[in-house]
Structure 1
């Protein structure tokens, strides 16, 4: 009896020690320098963590993830899923492909099989995230407040290599996270897929499964600090740099990383994230049905054109029928003095005019205009809703202009991406929060940042050339130098960015 009590006291002491260590660790601000100071965790620490969690074994969550029925939406958000009603009532014709994926939630619950998987997670994250200190990875993976959703080897892989089952090599990919249930959000710490299993869609499947599982835990938001190489992945998974969650909910709880980009994702409780492709297909079918309902082009059938029919011949026929030799290419007679042409030809020097029916005839200044007028002479074209503007937009000249604009847009976006990828670009990625920096607008009259430039490029024709973008870039640098002291890190970042811009725009 005394031996049992002594063992219990020892376990409680270890658990208490572990909690104290974790609490002190969570209050630290994580920078790249601080990470190197973490004490290396050896096998003894892992054994203590296992022993200290015996009293918490009843909280084990090493169970398969359920994705069958979404939890009702919380009162703060609407429960109606976005999209048309047909998408919500859509009956899936195929079996969910996610049902074949072997996955589990891994947590330090003290069980031997969990410890094996935790070691597998440590190896996976260490290989997939080589720049992350290994002792830091071990500390978070074995922390009892962190969980990991892992995808395991498929049944087919286990048939080919049965020795993998139950070992640390069984894990294909995983996401380590910590949920703050009181604040209804979770912080993603690590995300990695085994190198041999990459480019197979496991990254997307991991995130979709995690979102489905998060709903069962009452999580409304995911938040993470993404490095320059991971921002693209998180964007594809629905994360954004615009933080809509109140700062008071996560401030002081999550770890800060210098150079990382804070990103957020709202988890909608009514969306089945494992059925996204089928939902999009249902919405597309609904939109096409609506287009067919309002469209007129498929409801009126015109007889086939007679053999030898030409737009010129149609124009002459309409002119003879109207007793007027002055017609446009659509067979409509023109008012006197409107620059009409005879029906036997369509000349490039034809002037613009207006028909008696009110149709505007543009000036024929190119072969594209002439071809458009010929097309408008075909019976049913105007009735189907086609206009000269539509036809001219499809001409070679219009396509060349579109290609030039798209090429410039692509070049400008590439420059934005190159600047964002630099370590010294972190102060310029988002607009300055003037609610916190209240005197900023008193010093800087024209605020500008990389995200604003990105929106301007994507929206349309704001920037006519690379030089135009360079002007905004330099204004961003000068704004930073004007507001910040020359000894600050912001001023140093602005100086480095100015040097980088000289290199990147040297051929502009």
Structure 2
């Protein structure tokens, strides 16, 4: 992999890369007018950052460009506006979006950019949040007012670029910090010490002795609890805990996907009062999380059934071609690959 910064300088190689970026943005941002994309990508005031595939078989083709960001810098005001950001569909969910944004922040820090600002639609808000953007604009309004325009349906988001951070090394820095903290904890922690378990006999004598340990009764333990703390009851608890952990992790991964935004919370009946007349069994991700924590799912299949119910509810209520239908189709495809 390699990356380049390209502008409309009239050079043939630059024009080839800009045409490829225009094609990428048009494919991955279908709601954006193609003429508008072309105008900004080829505008001499805009700059584009691209990650390229080094494979010689795809050189100078659309497949050479893995991902790209088009932005316009305002050096005198020390901020830049991100116009487009996209990753080729065949390379998504591989970390290229984060790598692309970290490269842009590094370039911004090296060129005196203090803030990046963008307008994100509902599909992109989650991505920009993960990259350090926030909905609260802390940059003084006088610095950007009149230089960028408002976009209907877009949410303004901002990211501060610290001048002394090498953003391309953020993963390594976080890992070094983690290793340091774990090393310090291990010096005083006793969690690695394994003690022999209590031997609970049929006569309950060992359980009674365990109950006499200060704090055991106060913590809510009973003689019956201690007696059944080994054997089948203990194994069942382990299996239940493992299932809960697995399902919660699965739910977190789904919530991180771009298509998950319509499913995160229950449908607002004040906005769609006829929803329950069409959908008789509503379900959403937050309701599923409550069910998982309450141990209402006894198997993965039960959770998958609720996910497919979520998909079918969305398809039942919404029209073909709507953004909600696209999200339902993406969720269905994602669930089938789990």
Q: TM-score when scaled to structure 1?
A: 0.45
2:177 to 283, 287, 295: 283
Which of structures 1 and 2 has the bigger CA Rg? 1
In structure 2, relative to structure 1, the CA distance for the partners of 1:394 and 1:140 (3 Å cut) is: farther
**TM-score (norm: length of structure 2):** 0.64
The C-alpha deviation readout for 1:43-101, integer Å capped at 9, x for no partner, is xxxxxxxxxxxxxxxxxxxxxxxxxxxxxxxxxxxxxxxxxxxxxxxxxxxxxxxxxx3
Q: 2:76 is paired with a residue of what secondary structure? A: coil
Contact (CA 8 Å) 2:123, 2:259: kept in 1 or not?
no
Q: Which runs of 5+ in 1 are unaligned?
A: 1-100, 314-341, 375-392, 423-449, 455-468, 478-495
Whether the aligned pair in 2 keeps the contact of 1:150 and 1:171 (CA below 8 Å) is: yes
- Which residue among 163, 182, 188 is the counterpart of 1:294? 188
In structure 2, what is the Cα distance between the partners aligned to 1:369 and 1:499? Answer: 52
- 2:237 corresponds to which of 381, 396, 421: 396
Change (3 A) 1:171 1:364: closer
Structure 2 residue matching 1:110: 3-state secondary structure: coil
Separation of aligned partners in 1, 2:70 and 2:97: 13
Partner of 2:199: 310
Q: Which residue of 2 aligns with 1:201?
A: 95
CA 364–106 in structure 1, closer or farther in 2 if over 3 Å, else same: closer
Q: Given the alignment of the two structures, is residue 263 of structure 1 paired with residue 163 of structure 2, yes or no? A: no
Whether the 8 Å contact between 1:228 and 1:421 is mirrored in structure 2 is no
CA-based RMSD of the aligned residues comes to 4.5
- C-alpha distance in 2 between matches for 1:153 and 1:117: 12
Task: Quote the Cα distance in structure 1 between the aligned partners of 2:190 and 2:165.
Answer: 35
* Total equivalences in the alignment: 276
Aligned to 2:80: 186
Give, in whole Å, the separation in 2 of the partners of 1:169 and 1:361.
66
For 1:240 and 1:394, the matched residues in 2 are separated by: 44
Structure 2 gap segments, 5+ residues each: 284-338
Q: Is the Cα–Cα contact under 8 Å of residues 71 and 81 in structure 2 kept in the other structure?
A: yes
The residue that corresponds to 1:361 in the other structure is: 217
Change (3 A) 1:367 1:226: farther
1:131/1:275 CA distance change after superposition, 3 Å: same
Distance 1:104 1:354, change over 3 A: same
- Residues 393-435 of structure 1: CA distance to partner in whole angstroms, max 9, x if unpaired? 99939967x949x87xx69x97xx999549xxxxxxxxxxxxx
1:106-505 aligned at under 5 Å gives the runs: 106-154=6-54, 157-158=55-56, 160=57, 164-165=59-60, 170-297=64-191, 310=199, 344=205, 346=207, 359=215, 361-362=217-218, 364-365=221-222, 367-370=224-227, 396=237, 403=244, 421=262, 496-500=271-275
